[in-house]
Structure 1
Amino acid sequence: MAYGHKTEHRLRLRAQVVLHAARGRPNARIARETGLHLDTVRTWRGRFAEHGLPGLADRKRAGRPRAFTALQTAQVTALACQLPVESGVPLARWSAPDLARETIERGIAAFVSASTVRRWLAEDALKPWRYRSWIFITAPQFRPKAQRVLDLYARTWQGHPLGDDEYVISADEKTSIQARCRCHPTLAPGQARAMRVNHTYGRGGALAYLAAYDVHRARVFGRCEPRTGIDPFMNLVAQVMSQEPYASAKRVFWVVDNGSSHRGKKAADRLAAAFPNAVMIHTPVHASWLNQVEIYFSVVQRKVVSPNDFTDLTQVADRLRAFEGRYNATAQRFRWKFTTSDLDDLLAKLDRHTPDHQEESSFHLTA
């Protein structure tokens, strides 16, 4: 301890005091040679004589007394777990300064800082100033409809595995892709400088991008249309179904959401009439996240559309078509991990938050 390179300075001095004492030197001389006060030398010598090596460690200290009680901390945390409107405060959400102010006004504490409140909330991983939007599931027969889609992703239909001549297509539309012509050319990135895109722009119109994604072959078929509708969607279907292996396939399942272009039984009948080997499968209402083509659209948004700087709609369409070829050249299947077991866990979790007056809807969810 006295000569170790990794020994703390205070422990090194205390060890030197002990070694000097072991050599029979008096306290006054030890104090001169170590530069410590005489009382300090006497203290550490006595502690070592009484407790040995453990006596050279610092004793436990009470530390600074708590300025706030556990009850006060709990009351502030409970306040943060309530909506401000429920507490009669005209705010949409809490911030740390707002909570500190409300704590003082309610008499929970005479004074508390925003940083103290933030530290209390961090201990419970609470961030009341953040929020997420969500949609509560109310669609009847949600589970069986969602299970059909998940089973198709797992290459199963009505309890039987799909054959080699059966395919699953996920299709949808990405609406209103604008052509924004920036009033100043976009500047390329440079050293320690991000790409710069001018804020002002001229509008060059908008188009709709329709895409069909083969779930198991990881291949995209897309087309641009002036607007969405039944005819543009059927044009996409014809584009896919007119080529192999889909034209001669036993069955081609088309997973779509409940958009107006392909909603309900009429859309399913229209698809079957045009292509007898095509089967339309609808996702539940407000469950477009079950449609894998939405993942591809998110890729398009990040890699092609943003930042939006196009001279006209022709340039938008050309870039989208060029990206399809680039994507298909290296595409791999999405690693879809959401299974029917995850679906049951999700529904059970939502069911626990269902108010009493929605018990009937809750029954439909799990039926």
Structure 2
Amino acid sequence: MSPRSPYVVVATAAQRSQLETITRRSSAPYRTVLRARIVLAAAEGESNTDIARALGINVDTARKWRKRFCCKGIDGLTDLPRSGRPRTFTAEQVAEVKALACELPSVSGLPLPRWSCPELAREVTTRGVAEQISASTVRRILARDAIKPWQHRSWIFPRDPYFAPKAARALDLYARMWDDEPLGADDYVLSADEKPGVQARRRVCRPLPPAAGRPMRVESEYRRGGTLAYFAAYDVHRAHVVGRCEPTTGIEPFSRLTAQVMTQEPYASARRVFWIVDNGASHRNWAAAARLNDAYPNAHMVHLPVHASWLNQVEVYFSVVQRKALCPDDFTDLDDVSNRLLAFQDHYNATARPFDWTFTRNDLNQILHRLGRHDLHAPRPLAA
């Protein structure tokens, strides 16, 4: 007969409920579920030998977790802190590795644009920070603070000292505000631009449709059939696109787009139609604004500052066009490209909803303030 354990498990109703919940939880670690089952079996009066036999474990394991529960309750079922292997590198050495990763290699006189882990490990030993360190150890050290010096990201500082107020005008229009007054029902906001260089590429072999266990296959070789420009005006609040294809970009093609839009309803009889554009050559500076307003008195051109195309909502529409209508591409000629673009435009207008635009002038000022702290040559803060 198995000897009785001196540790008698008496579980309260709350403890029993918590232990049963652990055993039913599919995401709980196996060791945690096993310990809960040991305690529940011990609470039913079973001996350590019977518990070990039923759960397929060693008797010492059952004895250990029975004792831990009797001494500390459910908190005793967690692992105790472990000292682990002694540190190979001191905290000062780890800090120096991270500080080195945050420097440009040119500071160390190396002909490298950015660090890699092997180069960092070599520089750490060269500087005498550590006698020896591997690239994988450097990678683990940097991973603790999510430092990845081998990656890089392109960005550009806004140079226009009036970047914030210029961009804020467009953001206010997206929020249906102009000069601190709400827009009326007969006011419309259009985001317009052109997508140049749309290619008519004809694949040497026709694409193969997808099949079971096989994605669609597209031939990598193609023959060029020329390029065209796709002009579009996106109604921000109606999610409606008016566009046209032209052989090239320029003032005249853009003027044909404005004529196409402004001569149809509801824009022809609207009180005001705001055209948000960037600083492309087709619609640059005050001359383009005057040209539009002279032709259509209810049309007002609002220029974004330079390097602010990311605030132009029509660019989001162009990204949808690129992903859904032009990729992958296989066109016989430019007419085929034009037909695809205009057909997709009709398809989009039938199903689209306005973009969920949440970026406001406050968000803009926060970004510009943060960028201004990095720009050591900025003569003044960029945020207004």
With normalisation by structure 2, the TM-score equals: 0.81
Equivalent residue letter for 1:241: M
User: Partner of 1:116: helix, strand, or coil?
Assistant: helix
CA deviations 1:228-261 (Å, max 9, x no partner) are 0000000000000011111011111100000001
Change (3 A) 1:277 1:60: closer
Change (3 A) 1:250 1:114: same
State the distance in 1 between where 2:149 and 2:81 align. 37
State the distance in 2 between where 1:196 and 1:341 align. 46
1:227 equivalent among 248, 258, 262:
248
- Residue 197 (structure 2) pairs with residue 179 (structure 1): no
State the distance in 1 between where 2:199 and 2:207 align. 17
Change (3 A) 1:2 1:157: same
2:296 is aligned to: 275
- Residue 115 (structure 2) pairs with residue 98 (structure 1): no
1:140 equivalent among 139, 154, 161:
161
State the distance in 2 between where 1:206 and 1:135 align. 29
2:91 is aligned to: 70
User: Partner of 1:366: helix, strand, or coil?
Assistant: coil
Change (3 A) 1:255 1:72: same
Contact 2:157/2:375 (8 A) holds in 1: no
CA deviations 1:323-351 (Å, max 9, x no partner) are 01110001100111110111121121112
1:366 is aligned to: 383
CA deviations 1:168-206 (Å, max 9, x no partner) are 111000000011111122122222322222222111000
User: Partner of 1:336: helix, strand, or coil?
Assistant: coil
Change (3 A) 1:236 1:66: same
2:150 is aligned to: 129
State the distance in 1 between where 2:59 and 2:286 align. 93
User: Partner of 2:325: helix, strand, or coil?
Assistant: helix
Q: Bigger shift: 270-279 or 86-95?
A: 86-95
State the distance in 2 between where 1:240 and 1:294 align. 18
User: Partner of 1:309: helix, strand, or coil?
Assistant: coil
Identity of aligned residues (%): 59
State the distance in 1 between where 2:240 and 2:350 align. 9
Contact 2:8/2:70 (8 A) holds in 1: no
- Residue 140 (structure 2) pairs with residue 119 (structure 1): yes
State the distance in 1 between where 2:114 and 2:184 align. 53
1:265 equivalent among 286, 299, 302:
286
Counterparts of residues 1-367 of structure 1 (less than 5 Å): 6-8=33-35, 53=71, 61-355=82-376, 357-358=377-378, 360=379, 362-363=380-381, 365-367=382-384
Contact 2:200/2:224 (8 A) holds in 1: yes
State the distance in 1 between where 2:195 and 2:94 align. 48
Equivalent residue letter for 1:338: F
State the distance in 2 between where 1:207 and 1:228 align. 8
Please report the RMSD computed on the Cα atoms of aligned residues, expressed in angstroms: 3.2
Change (3 A) 1:2 1:293: farther
Contact 2:276/2:312 (8 A) holds in 1: yes
State the distance in 2 between where 1:259 and 1:269 align. 16
Shift of 1:106: 2.3
Shift of 1:212: 0.3
2:12 is aligned to: none
State the distance in 1 between where 2:231 and 2:269 align. 23
State the distance in 1 between where 2:188 and 2:246 align. 25
State the distance in 1 between where 2:261 and 2:70 align. 85
Shift of 1:61: 4.7
CA deviations 1:254-284 (Å, max 9, x no partner) are 0000000100111011101111111010001
Contact 2:201/2:331 (8 A) holds in 1: yes
State the distance in 2 between where 1:52 and 1:335 align. 57
User: Partner of 2:276: helix, strand, or coil?
Assistant: strand
User: Partner of 1:305: helix, strand, or coil?
Assistant: coil
Equivalent residue letter for 2:185: D
1:27 is aligned to: none
State the distance in 1 between where 2:132 and 2:244 align. 63
Shift of 1:217: 0.9
1:29 is aligned to: none
For these two proteins, the number of residue pairs brought into alignment is 341
Equivalent residue letter for 1:214: D
State the distance in 1 between where 2:332 and 2:355 align. 33
Shift of 1:213: 0.4
User: Partner of 1:211: helix, strand, or coil?
Assistant: strand
Shift of 1:92: 1.7
Equivalent residue letter for 1:72: Q
CA deviations 1:148-184 (Å, max 9, x no partner) are 1111111111111111111111100000001111112
Shift of 1:121: 1.0
